[in-house]
Every structure is written in structure tokens, then in C-alpha cells.
Structure 1
Amino acid sequence: MPIMDNYRYYWRVEPNIRIFCDIEEDLFKVMAKNQYKYGFTMSMYEFLATIPTLWSATLDFVKANPKHVHENNLLEFISDDNGKSYNLCHFWSNFEIADLDFWRSPAYREYFEYLDKQGGFFYERWGDAPVHSIAAALFLNRTEVAYFGQVGYSHPPYTNCPTERGFHSSHNCICNPGNSFTFDGYSCASKYFKVQGIDGKSYDSYL
């Protein structure tokens, strides 16, 4: 949309969310400083019934456009068998900080236009979360995808709460780390941490 042409970054903020910790850094500056293209706080599994043909459509696109797949991608986050199938992991996009230049890039625009022609947005329920996540995982350098774990955040029914005690107290967090969705069995965070080589329980200094 032309109204967005003058902007580089955005932060998706939805109604009825809660921020539980002091945010002392400008997250847009963090994105720019570290050259991040996509940032999230929670990740989980999608419902297969809503996207039964999304992965096959993605594979067809990738086969026809291998140039768009980054050599240092995050395929291991979204597939457990080297791309044969989609494991349904996606970044929960109700909290999403991203670089608009990525969505404007040839890789994403061509991918989106291809998906649009398949009809899955209408005849299935391909949502922005799995589409954004698959695109970020395949087309970006894995170093350009960031977990903003120190942002205490809640979008019912799930909460991301920092678990590092020092960070929790220094940033006046009012959430309960024991209730954090991050290490829930339905969360894909542990898979992301493993692929990225991150100690998920010590992310207070991750930025």
C-alpha cells in the first residue's frame, strides 16, 4: 500500500494484549543495528486442517525459483525431514516486528503472488502466520530472524515471560515465568533455539 512506502519497520500490536516488562531499548533500532528482518516472541504449531496444500504449493514455488532460497536458511525450524513435509511450526504473528523491505523483496512478492493464484487463502485458510513464517525461514539468512524473548508479552491465551531472574527483576516484569508458553509442549520455541544454537533460558542479553 502506498501509505507504507515511507516506512521501513513495523510492529504489529493487537487489542487486549499486555506488555509485562519494561522495554528499555527502541526495538526498531535493535532491528536496524542487528540487521534483523523478522522478530517474534512466541511460536507454535498450526492446525493442518487449515493449510492442507500450503506446503505442496510452497515446494512447487521453490522448485521453480530456487534462487530465492537462502543458503543459510531456517528450513530445520519448519521441517523435520529436510523439506519433504512441513512440521507446522510458525511464528505467532500477533506479535511481529519486521522489515517491510523483506515483504517488498522479489522473493516474498513472487511467493505471495504464486500462493494467491493457488486459491488457498480463500478455499482453505492460509493465514499470515504460516505464510510469513515459511517465507522468513526459507528466504532469509537465519541470522536475520530474532527471538524477542525479553519482551514480556501476552495475547490470550498465551504468555511469553522472561525466565532469567536477573532480567526479570531489573526490568520490573509482572508476569510469572512458570506460566510462560515458551517451554510449553505446543510451543516451537525449543526447536527454534536448537536450530539457532541459542540457550533459550539465558536470553536476557540476547539483543
Structure 2
Amino acid sequence: MARLNGKATRIAVFSLVIIGLIFFLSNTSGPTYVQSVNKTKSNDANVVDQSQKSSVNGLFPDGRENATFVSLARNEDLWELVSAIRSVEDRFNVKYKYDWVFLNNEPFNDEFKTVMKTLVSGEAKFGVIPKEHWSYPEWISQEKAAQTRHDMKNIIYGSSESYRHMCRYESGFFYRHPLMLNYKYYWRVEPSTLLHCDVNFDVFKFMRENNKDYAFTITIHEFVDTIKTLWQTTKDFIKENPEVIAKDNLEKFVSNDGMESYNLCHYWTNFEVANMDFWRGEAYSKYFEYLDKNGGFFYERWGDAPVHSIAASLFLPQDRVHYFKEIGYFHGPYHNCPIEDSVREENKCMCKPNDDFTWKDYSCTRLYHDVKGLQKPKGWEKHTG
């Protein structure tokens, strides 16, 4: 072997170092490496990512929880969604780098995909909703549905056809999308929303370690004219399927008279964190199919919020439902703004406590605390009305 001179030796050593570094990175699954890879790729296919499917019921190889953010959006929602995602990334996801799934009933354009891939710290995945999930099922009369929209033109979203498709999709299909089958937990984010506070813990890890299946920040009463037959349809379903009712549930959150009537309380689903095993399970699957065949998504204006809320309150034990008091959140016109000084300081909350909706009369969170026997924060009485 020929002897190397000093310069050649240095070049050889440097080359070996570079080769070793490349080998090390190629076998590393830590967050830094995952982020660098994720920035260069996206998933537009409606197929399950086989590399992640094996981890659906456990942690991913890099230690993250088996979870994703999900946003249902149109191309024209881009800039309203950008501000919402920027808020979540800055306040939470920059520390954890969870993936983001974007779903649309039409293909996303290049601008949308480019902006989102740049914006999110995890992997951005883009999926098209199957036509059969965003159209009229065969048992629905489109003439009757059109008449309903005409008759409800003076009710919020009452005349909207696309809104009904959205509510039906969020109620029964988003968690079945091939891209979502990679995951167990999700955090839903919508355009024009905002986080007021830093989130200083892994929300998904909290859900798993504490056996939580559904979590929320804001509650509210539904418009009765949009769901005139939803409760009776629910009671009919329960009569035929009594086994779906969980012991020690939150019945008293949704009914004040022993299930005779619905009190209209629901979790506001523009923010929700949940375990999709619940939606994919037998009880909820049978419930959604029953509701869907009844036709109320089109013949009335059933929203995914009361549907999710009734199911979570009745089909889950109450200790599996959780209120995130420390996650300051806004979706116009309502705020979940922590009123406790210690919570505000610890989480750097930037919202006015007087704007908090939690303890107002139109909110149902006070009732939630009463039903679960939870202690209310000091001074909550000053924020009622």
C-alpha cells in the first residue's frame, strides 16, 4: 500500500468522518432527523403508509405518540388556516413535530401544499375525500333535501348544501380516510382559530397515559331548529341497542330529565382531541349508521358537534372525557381563556379573562363541572352572565 502524505491523510480522515456521519444519520430515528426528512416529502396518495401502520396502537419509532393533527379545508381557506396552524405550531407542535393531515373534497393546489409543507414541523399529508363520503347516499331524496334548505334559509347554515356534507363527513367518515388509518389520536384544527396559551405538555401523551378518549375546550348550546328529531332518533337507537350505554356516563350533561329530552349541550368540535378507536368502535359505528339512514344530516341540519357529544357523553364512562382548562382557545366569537393567574402565568396566556366564555350562561361547562363533581376555579362567579 502506498504511503499517504499529510494532505492526503487529512482528506482521507475527513472522508471517513463524513461517511460515518451519513451512516449514523441514516440509522437515527430522533426528531431532528425525522424533521429533515419530512420537510422534503409529502403524501398525496389515498393509501396507508405501511411504515407507520405497524405502530397504530403504539408509539412511533422516534418516540412520538401515534397521533396527528387533522384539518378539513378548501384551497380558498389557505390563509385563514395558515394563521391557525402558525398558532398551534408556535404554542405546541414546534416542540413535538406531530404530522398534519389535510383533507379536501377536491385536490389541493400546489400553492396550498407548498405553504403547508413549509409551515408544519411534522410531515404534511394531503388527501382527497372519496366521492361517496361527500355526496348524497342512495336513500336520500335530493328534492326533499333541497326543500329543507329552502325552508331553513333563515337559520345559520340552514340553506347550505356543502355545510351538510361537511357535518356528515366529520360525523362519520374522516377517521376512516386512508391517511387517518395510520393514527390513533387526532387534534382537529380549523381555519380562523387561535391558541391563546403555550401548551407545555404533550397532549397526546396525556390522553394515552390518562385513558382519555375525548377532550374539549369549549361547550355551547345547539340551535334547537337544526336538530328537531336527533334526540328522538338517538333514543330509538338506544332502545334497540341498550348495550351501547356506558356505566357511570355523562348522561346528565346532555339531559336534565332522565333522557326524556336533550338539553342541547355539546362540546364545540372545531377543537377536539380524541381517540379514533372510539369512533371506529362498534357502538359509535352502529350509531352513525343509524343516524345516517334516518336522513337528518340532509332533512334537518344535524351537526357533528351534537352527534359527537351525545355519543361521547353516553357511550363513554365519564372519566374518559376531559376538559383542557389550560389550553386557551378561540373560535369566533367564543374564548376559552383561563381565569386563574397561576395558569395564565405558567402558560403565557395572551387573552383577556373577561372574554372567557367558560362560565357564561350559554356555555355548558359549568354543568359539566357539576355533573363530574369538579372544583371550579377561584373567582369563576365574576365571569358569569
- Shorter-chain TM-score category? over 0.9
Q: Which runs of 5+ in 2 are unaligned?
A: 1-176, 379-385
Query: Would you say 1:170 and 2:385 are equivalent positions?
Result: no
Match for 1:8 among 184, 201, 215?
Answer: 184
Counterpart CA distance in 2 for 1:156 and 1:130 is: 18
Match for 1:84 among 230, 244, 260?
Answer: 260
Counterpart CA distance in 1 for 2:294 and 2:223 is: 19
Q: Determine which structure has greater relative contact order: mean sequence separation of CA pairs < 8 Å that are 6+ residues apart, divided by chain length.
A: 1
Match for 2:282 among 106, 111, 120?
Answer: 106
Q: Which residue is 1:23 aligned to?
A: 199
Q: Which residue is 1:48 aligned to?
A: 224
Counterpart CA distance in 1 for 2:180 and 2:346 is: 36
Q: Which residue is 2:291 aligned to?
A: 115
- Which secondary structure does the structure 2 equivalent of 1:174 belong to? coil
Amino acid at match of 1:160: N
Query: Would you say 1:35 and 2:202 are equivalent positions?
Result: no
Measured against aligned partners, the alpha-carbon deviations of 1:76-109 in whole angstroms (never above 9, x if no partner) come to 0000001000000000000000000000000000
Report how many residues are paired: 202
Matches for 1:155-166 after TM superposition, within 5 Å: 155-166=331-342
- Residue pair 2:326, 2:347 contacting (<8 A) in 1 also: no
TM superposition shift of 1:124: 0.3
Q: Which residue is 2:367 aligned to?
A: 191
Counterpart CA distance in 1 for 2:178 and 2:189 is: 21
Amino acid at match of 1:119: G
Larger Rg: 2
Q: Which residue is 2:328 aligned to?
A: 152
Amino acid at match of 2:225: A
- Which secondary structure does the structure 2 equivalent of 1:201 belong to? coil
Counterpart CA distance in 2 for 1:111 and 1:41 is: 24
Amino acid at match of 1:27: V
Amino acid at match of 1:166: S
TM superposition shift of 1:5: 1.4
- Which secondary structure does the structure 2 equivalent of 1:182 belong to? coil
TM superposition shift of 1:128: 0.3
Counterpart CA distance in 1 for 2:201 and 2:227 is: 37
Aligned-pair Cα RMSD in Å: 0.8
- Which secondary structure does the structure 2 equivalent of 1:101 belong to? helix
TM superposition shift of 1:196: 0.8
Percentage identity across paired residues of the two chains: 53
TM superposition shift of 1:200: 2.8
TM superposition shift of 1:15: 1.1
TM superposition shift of 1:17: 1.0
- Which secondary structure does the structure 2 equivalent of 1:187 belong to? coil
Measured against aligned partners, the alpha-carbon deviations of 1:14-73 in whole angstroms (never above 9, x if no partner) come to 112111111110101110011100000000100000000000000000000000100111
TM superposition shift of 1:2: 2.3
Q: Which residue is 1:205 aligned to?
A: none
- Which secondary structure does the structure 1 equivalent of 2:278 belong to? helix
Amino acid at match of 1:159: H
TM superposition shift of 1:3: 2.1
